[in-house]
Amino acid sequence: MTSPLYGQMMDVPLLASSLLSHAARYFGDTEIVSRRIEGDIHRYTYRDCEKRAKQLAQALIALGVQPGERIGTLAWNGYRHLECYYGTTGMGAVCHTINPRLFPEQIAFIVDHAEDAYVFFDMTFAPLVDIVAPQCPKVKGWIALGDASCIREHLGDMEVPLFSYETLVTAQDGDYAWPVFDERTASFLCYTSGTTGHPKGALYSHRSTVLHAYGAALPDAMSASAGDAILPVVPMFHVNAWGIPHAAPLVGAKLVFPGKDLDGKSLYELMEAEGVTFSAGVPTVWLGLLNYMKEAGVRFSTLRRTVIGGSACPPAMLRAFEDQYGVEVIHAWGMTEMSPLGTLAHLNFRQKARSPEEQRKSREKQGHVIFGVDMKVVGDDGRELPWDGRSFGDLHVRGPWVIDRYFRSDESPLVDGWFPTGDVATIDADGFMQITDRSKDVIKSGGEWISSIDLENIAVSHPQVAEAACIACAHPKWTERPLIVAVLRPGATVTREELRAFYEGKVAKWWMPDDVVFADELPHTATGKLQKLRLRELYRDYVLPGVAEHPA
Ligand code: AMP
């Protein structure tokens, strides 16, 4: 057999550190601006950031951290968290971002499961660390993201092995060359939010991180450029803020970090003050921003586009951004197991020639894959379904930034080499995917499926409804029927009959919700998703109108 003819190009491994080095060298003066938990605005440059990330790498080495060890973070979006991203992964350790909104028991489980050697934390999370630390005996030290005096003042009573981040970092000179190693080395560890069972870890590699950053920056993805000022509202503790901390240095964009203040007013003011052109976050956050802007009667002067994902973007939100504020909305879908980007709703040349209504319908979907992700929907028999925009099925994906197996698990989650996402979707002739449900949430009425997301979107397009969830309710004849749980806007007076009537003409008759109930608030997961499981528990014994008794 003849040996293959190899290409004769440099074999340079794809390493996360190269993203920051690139920004420091070619966009050295570009700013990174952070609203600190101390309350003030901190600004420095990519050049400064790389220096401090190197100082941090030296500090970790001085603490005895070995390549491959996991280092946790419990932190808001800010410059120190960015340094943790690069300092940790740059020296060969793994940056494990932890979601502080999880229950303390879940956090303890995750820290223990990951076997974090050290954990960085923002001072706001000191009470949480106090609770969690005794349950995490493997952690050698908790590193507070502040200076020694801050720690003395605020954390004096903590009974954990405590370090000051600033003391550790400033003790080093930053004279350090990023080591070069195998690009398949682990880079980041992110746990799924775990609405059922224990959270599971997705362990990214340097290669997947860099490839994902390239994909995320593409024009038909986030379209990131050196001309942008990017404010990630999506937290750095949730799937690496959708890759923005990697894509921004890759293109040399200015970064603006909002810290812990994610209310509409704080976000709006920071966006205006820093000339933010692009942002990304989940629908719940944007709801707060839109409400604030409406009340305050203000407009954006620099924001041009925003990526909305994590949960379905209600069409009413897309319209509000575009029609009232002239901000382009890019609906996107992804998941922790996919680093996370999978699809984004950018129109192709042919779609742009269609009527405005057709264009909008396409853009309300979750969109088209970017190169790096392959997808298909499969039926109950595992066979691929047609791309007709109607056939619902389980969505499967594969690609170089898609999980192969969960951290410290021997079982492969794959089916024929594809990862089953747990989402139910359609794909249309344009290759546009639309999520209709999580497979657990779809309503199975008389053997047919009803999309809970579609019914929720209609409810929230009612002017008096602030938020709505649609869940399956047990039915003696149809097995399951849709029930809407709605939260009204303050002062709203709409009745159950009026809200039901609102569906007429908007959905097929058999999709009409059987009932509407009102609640003061809806339960959310730590990542802002509706907690349908909890809602189903709350309404487990609910008896629908026209049903003599609960079928269970
Ligand atoms: P996570 O891993 O926490 O980011 O959650 C991923 C899950 O969020 C996906 O599997 C979907 O169920 C849901 N999700 C993400 N983006 C969207 C979207 N644009 N529309 C509907 N569901 C979404």
How far apart CA 547 and CA 539 sit, in angstroms, is 15
Reduced to 3 states (helix: H, G, I; strand: E, B; else coil), residue 109 is: helix
Q: List pLDDT tens digits, range 69-92.
A: 999 999 999 999 999 999 999 999
Residues in the chain: 552
- Counts for the chain of helices (H) and strands (E), in that order: 17, 25
444 is a catalytic site residue: yes
Catalytic residue among 30, 88, 89, 192: 192
Ligand 1 atom 9: the closest Cα is on which residue? 335
Indicate whether 64 and 196 sit together in one domain. Answer: yes
Hey, what amino acid is at 256?
A: V
Give the residue from 368, 403, 427 where a domain finishes. 427
pLDDT score, position 249:
98
Tell me, in angstroms, the distance from the centre of ligand 1 to residue 5's CA: 43
34 beta partners: 42, 257
How far apart CA 82 and CA 53 sit, in angstroms, is 8
In a domain, 158, yes or no: yes
pLDDT score, position 197:
65
What ligand 1 atom has the least distance to the C-alpha of 193?
3
Ligand 1 atom 23: the closest Cα is on which residue? 311
Confidence band of 108 (pLDDT split at 50, 70, 90):
very high
Q: Which H or E run contains 188?
A: strand 186-191
Tell me, in angstroms, the distance from the centre of ligand 1 to residue 232's CA: 17
Neighbours of 161 (CB within 10 A): 12
Nearest to 107 by CA among 98, 116, 115: 98
Asked whether the whole model's pTM tops 0.95, one would answer no
Ligand 1 atom 20: the closest Cα is on which residue? 312
Indicate whether 421 and 449 sit together in one domain. Answer: no
pLDDT score, position 153:
80
DSSP-assigned letter for residue 540: T
Pocket-forming residues, ligand 1, beta carbon under 6 Å: 192-193, 239, 309-312, 331-333, 335-336, 340, 366, 421-423, 435, 438, 527
141 beta partners: 118
| CATH number of the domain residue 499 falls in | 3.30.300.30
pLDDT at 440 over 90: no
Tell me, in angstroms, the distance from the centre of ligand 1 to residue 435's CA: 9
CB 338 within 8 A of CB 402: yes
* Region for residue 39 given its phi and psi (left: phi exceeds 0; alpha: psi -120 to 50; beta: otherwise): left
pLDDT score, position 552:
58
What ligand 1 atom has the least distance to the C-alpha of 525?
3
In a domain, 6, yes or no: no
Confidence band of 514 (pLDDT split at 50, 70, 90):
very high
pLDDT score, position 307:
97
Mean pLDDT of 377-401: 95
Mean pLDDT of 363-377: 97
Confidence band of 442 (pLDDT split at 50, 70, 90):
confident
Tell me, in angstroms, the distance from the centre of ligand 1 to residue 526's CA: 13
Indicate whether 378 and 526 sit together in one domain. Answer: no
Helices 206-217, 16-26: axis angle to 10 degrees equals 50
449 is a catalytic site residue: yes
Tell me, in angstroms, the distance from the centre of ligand 1 to residue 139's CA: 31
| Exposed e or buried b per residue across 463-480, where buried means at least 16 C-beta atoms within 10 angstroms of its C-beta | eebbbbbbbbbbbeebeb
* Among the ranges given (179-188, 193-202, 264-273, 423-432), the one the predictor scored with the smallest mean pLDDT: 193-202
In a domain, 127, yes or no: yes
Tell me, in angstroms, the distance from the centre of ligand 1 to residue 333's CA: 6
Q: List pLDDT tens digits, range 521-552.
A: 999 887 778 888 889 989 989 999 988 776 65
3-state secondary structure 240-303: HHHHHHHHHHHHCCEEEECECCCCHHHHHHHHHHHCCCEEEECHHHHHHHHHHHHHHCCCCCCC
* Among the ranges given (266-280, 349-363, 392-406, 471-485), the one the predictor scored with the smallest mean pLDDT: 471-485
Indicate whether 190 and 294 sit together in one domain. Answer: yes
Q: Which H or E run contains 488?
A: strand 479-488
How far apart CA 344 and CA 363 sit, in angstroms, is 9
Indicate whether 199 and 283 sit together in one domain. Answer: yes
Nearest to 543 by CA among 502, 506, 523, 514: 514
Give the residue from 371, 393, 427 where a domain finishes. 427
pLDDT score, position 283:
87
3-state secondary structure 355-377: CHHHHHHHHHCCEEECCCCEEEE
Mean pLDDT of 245-251: 98
Q: Which of 238, 335, 336 to mutate to test the pocket of ligand 1 (most atoms within 8 A of CB)?
A: 335
Q: Which H or E run contains 537?
A: helix 532-538
Q: Which of 423, 434, 438 to mutate to test the pocket of ligand 1 (most atoms within 8 A of CB)?
A: 423
* Among the ranges given (63-77, 214-228, 488-502, 522-536), the one the predictor scored with the smallest mean pLDDT: 522-536
For 262, phi then psi, to 5°, come to: -110, 15
DSSP-assigned letter for residue 321: I
Catalytic residue among 195, 269, 328, 449: 449
How far apart CA 538 and CA 310 sit, in angstroms, is 24
Confidence band of 509 (pLDDT split at 50, 70, 90):
confident
DSSP-assigned letter for residue 384: B
pLDDT score, position 154:
79
pLDDT at 390 over 60: yes
337 is a catalytic site residue: yes
Indicate whether 363 and 498 sit together in one domain. Answer: no
Q: List pLDDT tens digits, range 60-71.
A: 999 999 999 999
Ligand 1 atom 21: the closest Cα is on which residue? 312
Order the strands of the 374-378 sheet from edge to edge.
374-378, 393-398, 419-427, 433-438
* Among the ranges given (162-176, 358-372, 379-393, 440-454), the one the predictor scored with the smallest mean pLDDT: 440-454
Q: Which residues contact 75 (CB under 8 A, 6 or more apart)?
A: 81, 84, 100, 120, 121, 122, 125, 145, 236, 237
pLDDT score, position 194:
56
In a domain, 508, yes or no: yes
What ligand 1 atom has the least distance to the C-alpha of 435?
21
Indicate whether 452 and 503 sit together in one domain. Answer: yes
Mean pLDDT of 34-62: 97
| CATH number of the domain residue 404 falls in | 3.40.50.12780
Tokens coding 186: 């682990």
Domain that holds residue 223: 16-427
CB 282 within 8 A of CB 307: no
pLDDT at 445 over 90: no
How far apart CA 477 and CA 41 sit, in angstroms, is 60
What ligand 1 atom has the least distance to the C-alpha of 340?
4
pLDDT score, position 155:
80
Who has greater pLDDT, 1 or 169?
Answer: 169
Catalytic residue among 294, 352, 440, 444: 444
* Mean predicted lDDT score pLDDT of the chain: 94
pLDDT score, position 258:
98
Indicate whether 245 and 352 sit together in one domain. Answer: yes
Confidence band of 300 (pLDDT split at 50, 70, 90):
very high
Q: List pLDDT tens digits, range 331-362.
A: 999 999 999 999 999 999 999 999 999 999 99
CB 454 within 8 A of CB 436: yes
pLDDT score, position 39:
87
pLDDT at 374 over 60: yes
Using only C-alpha atoms, the chain has a radius of gyration, in whole angstroms, of 24
192 is a catalytic site residue: yes
pLDDT at 196 over 70: no
Indicate whether 119 and 254 sit together in one domain. Answer: yes
How far apart CA 102 and CA 108 sit, in angstroms, is 10
pLDDT score, position 185:
98
In a domain, 471, yes or no: yes
Indicate whether 219 and 366 sit together in one domain. Answer: yes
pLDDT score, position 151:
82
CB 464 within 8 A of CB 434: no
DSSP-assigned letter for residue 403: -
Catalytic residue among 50, 69, 166, 337: 337
Tell me, in angstroms, the distance from the centre of ligand 1 to residue 438's CA: 9
pLDDT score, position 412:
96
How far apart CA 234 and CA 81 sit, in angstroms, is 14
Tell me, in angstroms, the distance from the centre of ligand 1 to residue 340's CA: 9
pLDDT at 206 over 70: yes
CB 233 within 8 A of CB 281: yes
Give the residue from 399, 427, 455 where a domain finishes. 427
In a domain, 1, yes or no: no
In a domain, 7, yes or no: no
Ligand 1 atom 1: the closest Cα is on which residue? 335
| Exposed e or buried b per residue across 367-381, where buried means at least 16 C-beta atoms within 10 angstroms of its C-beta | bbbbebbebbbbeee
Structural domain total, the chain:
2
Tell me, in angstroms, the distance from the centre of ligand 1 to residue 282's CA: 10
pLDDT score, position 172:
98
CB 83 within 8 A of CB 56: yes
Indicate whether 395 and 492 sit together in one domain. Answer: no
In a domain, 292, yes or no: yes
Indicate whether 102 and 147 sit together in one domain. Answer: yes
Q: Which of 329, 529, 531, 532 to mutate to test the pocket of ligand 1 (most atoms within 8 A of CB)?
A: 529
